[in-house]
Amino acid sequence: MATGPQKKVHSGSDVASREQVLDALEGMSDSDFIRLHEFAGFRTGSMSGYRGAEDAVAEAVTATLLGRRKWRLSIPILHHLLGCIRSYTSHWSKCSETSENPDHCPGSSGHPLDNAIATELLERIEQDCTGDTEVLEILEHLLAGRQRKEIVKKLRIRPQNYDSAVKKLRRRVRSILRETNYE
């Protein structure tokens, strides 16, 4: 009889569906995303000129959404994403130490299909928000890695306006993701 560690086998029912991932991502608070960005910044801080915190967070969310990183429902989504970030940044760090050109480091972040999907989704979001300059400005600042407080100050808007615009943006993103079948 084997006495060593047993590998835990997970049934398909404890792995989140795409719909469940979308719901969980939509339910995350600004402070959850700030925590992700701070952790990713800590993990990527020594990789100057390489991939940054935004890349790590985007990769974790994208991989989970596309099903490359399975999220088990027994684990809080925030913890799952933190684990993904830890994994990606460890891989990138090892690769950056051994590769002359870190941009050619194998890994899913630079995968052409992922880049095409992200570009297409961003274009769709921008099209859907064409008449809403406040949402587009906030999106631009979020993509640049700025936090809520800094965005509110730079755009000279009330925090309530920011919150409303982010909710609108999340609804539009969710709607676009539901319309597309990136699985």
Q: In whole angstroms, how large is the CA radius of gyration of the chain?
A: 18
Last residue of a domain, one of 77, 101, 125: 101
- Count of domains in the chain? 2
Contacts of 11 (CB under 8 A, 6+ apart): none
Residue 64: exposed, middle, or buried by beta-carbon count in 10 A (0-12, 13-18, 19+)? buried
User: Looking at 54, 79, 101, which one is the last position of a domain?
Assistant: 101
- Asked whether residue 164 carries a pLDDT value surpassing 50, the answer given is yes
Percentage, residues of the chain above pLDDT 90: 16
pLDDT tens digit sequence for 31-86: 898 899 889 888 887 665 556 788 888 888 888 888 888 999 999 999 999 999 99
Burial of 15 (0-12, 13-18, 19+ CB in 10 A): middle
pLDDT, tens digit, 9 for 90 and up, residues 75-95: 999 999 999 999 888 887 777
**This prediction's pTM:** 0.57
Q: Which two tokens stand for residue 8?
A: 């835990």
Burial, 134: exposed, middle or buried (Cβ in 10 Å; 0-12, 13-18, 19+)?
Answer: middle
Does residue 79 sit in the same domain as residue 136? no
Task: Please check whether residues 132 and 80 belong to one and the same domain.
Answer: no
Q: Which residue range(s) make up the domain with 29? A: 14-101
Q: Are residues 60 and 119 in the same domain?
A: no
Mean pLDDT of 150-165: 90
Question: Is 161 within 8 Å of 175 (Cβ atoms)?
Answer: no
Q: Which of 22-31, 44-53, 149-158 has the lowest mean pLDDT?
A: 44-53
Q: Which of 46, 81, 101 is the last residue of a domain?
A: 101
> Residue 1: what pLDDT?
44
Specify the pLDDT at position 183.
Answer: 45
Maximum mean pLDDT: which of 1-10, 17-26, 77-86: 77-86
